[in-house]
Amino acid sequence: MATYVLIHGAGSDARYWHRVVPLLHTEGHRVVLPELPVDDDAAGLAEYADAVVAAVDGSPGTDGDLVVVAQSMAGFTAPLVCGRLPVRLLVLVAAMVPAPGESPGDWWANTGFAEARAELDRSEGRDPAAGFDPLVTFFHDVPAEVTAEAMAQAPRGQSDTPFAKPWPLDRWPDVPTRFLLGRQDRFFPAAFQRRVVRERLGFAPDEMDSGHLPALSRPEELVRRLEAYRTQAGLR
């Protein structure tokens, strides 16, 4: 039995994982769902990591191998947790990959995100200058009923605070790491992610057919991938 720690992305909450959790429970694993203080202007990356550690420490029965799964911006938080918890495996899903000393705010220009996103939009017939529409960018492959349920929830704001300070680590943690991208991701294009992961982590990412939100659009496939990573790593 493993303990999966599922960390949501920016402007989101732990409900993002609601289609994944029962599938992991069916496999016999425990799940910890930290709630990051994304709408708190007093909270930065350090406080985000504190929230994850507190959630794990406050969850009874979280023995067994610890697997941390980070979605999107949580790629900045998850490595900080690895220095404070006995993490056996780190899985990044459609995630940002920080460089030492880089702030989340600088990540966008440093990686060439805007150019990559505009190129993808043009190649798929969308106007790069159009305003951001989450239904187009995030929910295009999410089932209609799941999208409707998500849209019915009160929106959660994202503070700018965690984007301001540099990522404090001088290197990637010494924890086995896997990266899973979505081939139909309209936010972090697949070609862009392949380049960034190779440049920053030194390996080729794995791929699945999904957009930016695979926990909502392809939960069964996502759990199969997570379980495969776990068994490949020799974890319980």
Q: pLDDT (tens digit, 9 = 90+) per residue, 174-232?
A: 999 999 999 999 999 999 999 999 999 999 999 999 999 999 999 999 999 999 999 99
**Rounded distance between C-alpha atoms, residue 20 and residue 23, angstroms:** 5
**Spatial distance between the Cα atoms of 91 and 152, rounded to a whole number of angstroms:** 29
Query: What average pLDDT does the chain have?
Result: 96
Q: Report whether 214 contacts 186 (CB < 8 A).
A: no
CB atoms within 10 A of CB 82: 20
User: If pLDDT is split at 50, 70 and 90, which confidence band does 156 have?
Assistant: confident
With tokens 């999966």, the residue in question is 4
What single letter denotes the amino acid at residue 207?
E
* Average pLDDT score over residue span 24-39: 97
DSSP run (H or E) holding 118: helix 113-123
Query: Does the structure show a pLDDT above 80 at 62?
Result: no
Burial class (CB in 10 A: 0-12, 13-18, 19+), 135: exposed
Domains along the sequence of the chain with CATH: 2-232 (3.40.50.1820)
Average pLDDT over residues 3-32: 97
The predicted-structure confidence for 126-155, as pLDDT tens digits, reads as follows 999 998 999 999 999 999 999 999 999 988
pTM exceeding 0.85? yes
Confidence of residue 96 (pLDDT cuts 50, 70, 90): very high
Q: Which two tokens stand for residue 1?
A: 């039995």
- Strand 30-32, strand 177-182: pairing: unpaired
- State the Cα–Cα distance between residues 149 and 135, nearest whole angstrom: 13
Residue 236 reports pLDDT greater than 90:
no
